[in-house]
Amino acid sequence: MHQQLRDKLRAGCGAQRPGGQRRVERWIFQVALGRVSLGVYPNGKENPAQRCMLGGSLRVGSQRVVIVADFRCSVQDYVAQFARLVFPRPDACLCCGQSGSLVGHGFYVRKALDQECVFQVRIKRWRCKACRRTTSVLPSFLLRFRHYLLAVISQALVARFELGGSWLEAFKYVAVDGLPSPRTIGRWCQSFAEHAVIWWAAVTVLLAQVAAASPALDPLGSTAGPHNAPSAVLHAALDLLAWIKTQVPEMTGYGLKDRLPALWHWGHGQGLGRLV
Ligand SMILES: [Zn+2]
């Protein structure tokens, strides 16, 4: 399906089918059991495709402002090359809207874990000269509120929701010397399942806008993906990545393991909140 979508996008992005949007709207309404509508999109007037192409990934929280950025490197390279990285700086403060007011404000250090290492990851900060609030730039290999790298969390989610294992089987699949613990993996799976409906709906709306002929949008088609939300998000993330790759040439080499960082990067910019 991944290849099919890419082929269609290459053949011409005018793959919009008459009535495709209405069909998807009905489907989302059904699968979300009334909990989700197209209104989940925060930018009713703004084309999310355009935002993604422009690298838009801004999110204003009630307490802290965080930008998620893709540095196109591993955590090891990020740590080693931190001084040479170029950090995205919003044109205007995301709190007060003052243009050109953000100046460098050092960094803070947070832990990032995989099964064997603890990385000390520096997180770049900007500060607004007008309102004095700070904006952090979070690399897309990290989630908010989770110590483990997204790559490790992804392994657990794939084991649980794509390979169909139990939490314990996911633990055996991911853990090295007992870490991460079964309880931690259980919390990841539970949280992902709780948020999956919103993310699934949002990706589906985007695909309907940019690739309405995608088989992922036909709930009755033979190539349709899974119908439970957590599995469907993992499935749809591949289509999302395929589309992003058509828009961002630098991401041509991105593959299966990059789908959740790409999803997180995109979805955070759409205001979707927590992924896991
Ligand atoms: Zn400000």
Q: Give me ligand 1 centre to Cα 19, in Å.
A: 43
- Please check the confidence at residue 222 and state whether its pLDDT lies above 90: no
- Higher pLDDT, residue 143 or 61: 143
Q: Which residue has the tokens 């949007």?
A: 21
CB 137 within 8 A of CB 123: yes
CB 4 within 8 A of CB 213: no
Q: Give me ligand 1 centre to Cα 262, in Å.
A: 28
* Most distant CA atoms of the chain, gap in Å: 56
Q: Which two tokens stand for residue 261?
A: 């960082």
* Distance of alpha carbon 87 from alpha carbon 127, whole angstroms: 13
Question: How many residues make up the chain in this entry?
Answer: 276
At 19-78, the pLDDT tens digits run: 444 443 443 433 333 232 222 233 333 333 333 333 444 444 445 799 999 999 999 999
Region 240-263: mean pLDDT is 94
Please provide residue 60's backbone torsions phi and psi, each rounded to the nearest 5 degrees.
-105, 115
Q: Give me ligand 1 centre to Cα 59, in Å.
A: 14
Q: What is the pLDDT of residue 51?
A: 34
CB 263 within 8 A of CB 240: yes
Amino acid identity of residue 245, one-letter, is K
Mean per-residue pLDDT of the chain: 81
Q: What angle do CA 124, 40, 228 make, to 5 degrees?
A: 100
* Distance of alpha carbon 150 from alpha carbon 233, whole angstroms: 15
Q: Give me ligand 1 centre to Cα 140, in Å.
A: 24
- Residue 223: pLDDT band (50, 70, 90) is low
- Please check the confidence at residue 8 and state whether its pLDDT lies above 60: no
- β 58-60/118-128 pair status: unpaired
- Higher pLDDT, residue 8 or 157: 157
pTM: 0.77
Q: Give me ligand 1 centre to Cα 135, in Å.
A: 9
Q: Give me ligand 1 centre to Cα 131, in Å.
A: 4
Q: What is the pLDDT of residue 224?
A: 63
* Distance of alpha carbon 47 from alpha carbon 24, whole angstroms: 17
- Please check the confidence at residue 173 and state whether its pLDDT lies above 80: yes
At 84-134, the pLDDT tens digits run: 999 999 999 999 999 999 999 999 999 999 999 999 999 999 999 999 999
Q: Give me ligand 1 centre to Cα 99, in Å.
A: 9
Domain boundaries, the chain: 2-269
